[in-house]
Amino acid sequence: MGKFNNKTVWITGASSGIGEAVAYRLAQEGARLILTSRTREALESVAGKCKLSGAPEVRILPYDLSDTGNLDNLADTAWQMFGRIDILFNNAGISQRSLATETDVSVIRKIMDINFMAPVILTKRILPSMIGQGGGNIAVTSSINGLFGFPLRCAYSSSKHALYGFFETVRAEYHDTGIRVTIVCPGRVRTNISMNAIDANGLPHGKMDSGQAGGISPQKAADKIVNAIYRGKPEVLVGGKELIMVYIKRLFPRLCDLLSRKVSPT
């Protein structure tokens, strides 16, 4: 029997990278899945593989999360697909590669909409119904750049810092109602996040960062994330040796500032 039998999980950013790998891992554990990303064709491919991996039911819900005006309707549609959501994994996100003074404000707004406002709106819409059913788990993908600033990521780092503030508050406010919040904090995971990052004018970065290329596999990341959600852990660090920066920040903040200036941002 799988750890997530009879559980319904909604995953955003499910067509590639961490979201895709988590979908397969949850499918192996018997979860019913709702998969969201921008591209229907990619979602259909992932959904087919999830069924082969053991998911009893899989539904796809294509949507561009930068369109924040209709996210309440999206959440309502997701809930109605199975009549409940036990786990909401707010995973979708976009990164950036540009200096703060050169980054257009429209780019900052776009990144904040996708990375911060979309998870907030979806969570606020789902949360009352989740409480009404007796509880559930909300997971959200932040980043180690949500714990300290880093060059070329002013908007990305800001959005990931903001996730900590909102979701730690939700955890504190609703713990006694059966709600558990897991903040996923990846370092370097071998995905296309740097390829899909945008520059100062909102154009694709289109390059694989060397650090990203040397990161852990999405499958290894998914194992840690799924286990953390199952155990209701408040935070899970995912990555390799770069995670030491998290502890340096906590214990030696001035050293972290120095290293952040010296380490290659690509």
Active site residues: 156
Q: Is-contact 58 35, C-beta < 8 A?
A: yes
- Are 91 and 12 spatial neighbours (Cβ–Cβ below 8 Å)? yes
Beta carbons of 232 and 180 less than 8 angstroms apart: yes
CB within 8 A of 11, min separation 6: which ones?
Answer: 19, 22, 23, 26, 33, 34, 35, 36, 89, 91
93 vs 104: CA distance, rounded Å = 18
Contacts of 86 (CB under 8 A, 6+ apart): 7, 8, 9, 130, 136, 137
Residue 46 tokens read as 């992932």
Helix orientation angle between 118-132 and 154-174, rounded to the nearest 10 degrees: 10
